[in-house]
Amino acid sequence: MFSVVLLCPWFGRAQNVWKDVYRESAWEARDKWQRPAEIVGRLALRAGDKVADVGCHEGYFTLKLAAEVGDAGRVYAVDIDRDKLDKLKGHLSERNITNVIIVKGDEDDPKLPVGALDAVLIVDTYHEMDAHDEILRRIKASLKHGGRLVICEPVSEASRKLTRADQEKKHELGMAYAIADLEKAGFKITFKKDPFVDRTQEKGDEMWIIVAEKH
């Protein structure tokens, strides 16, 4: 089962003493440290592309992806928390965004169309996925040949030498564990950087980034 910070799956558990960076009210501040343009840029999207935001929460990246692919493109916004998806639906309605498909995923299945996607994005959610091997298998099946998967995840300096299980209890994951998973799943790693995002003031950790390709 995956759960994210406060008592719900993927993006549902609370944020301890740290700031809740996922609500719409925090998005403007998040723009200053999340480096969203660089993350979206690593997806190498073009107008008309199809992309998935897996673990979309209330849609911080979903809205950015929708603008990137344009009216002819499609964004599959996936989460397993219905409340978060309902909030995303409201954000889309308020902004008259019509190129987003909301998907209620399962804990081992993001329910993406097979062979249809140009790219998939997972931000601050992969560490919550207990069924990560199955998730990666399904994501790979959803991607076109040459399709890209970008994962951006947190780990604090104090947790870097911990076991995977202990990191995940803290809602973190070291980059090496994700690389091993991706290579096992048959992805080709084309870019990696650790640290990538400094969010010590917001969450007490840093985030790394990996770009992987289906080949």
Residue 4 lies in a domain: no
Domain extent, residue 151, equals: 24-214
Residue 6 lies in a domain: no
pLDDT in tens, 100-143: 999 999 999 999 999 999 999 999 999 999 999 999 999 999 99
Residue 140 lies in a domain: yes
CA 58 – CA 69 distance, rounded (Å): 19
pLDDT in tens, 145-201: 999 999 999 999 999 999 999 999 999 999 999 999 999 999 999 999 999 999 999
| CATH number of the domain where residue 34 is located | 3.40.50.150
Residue 12 lies in a domain: no
CA 66 – CA 120 distance, rounded (Å): 13
Residue 18 lies in a domain: no
Residue 113 lies in a domain: yes
DSSP codes of every residue in 1-53: ---BBTTBTTTTB--TTS---SSGGGHHHHHHHS-HHHHHHHTT--TT-EEEE
Total tally of structural domains belonging to the chain: 1
Residue 76 lies in a domain: yes
Residue 110 lies in a domain: yes
CA end-to-end span of the chain: 29
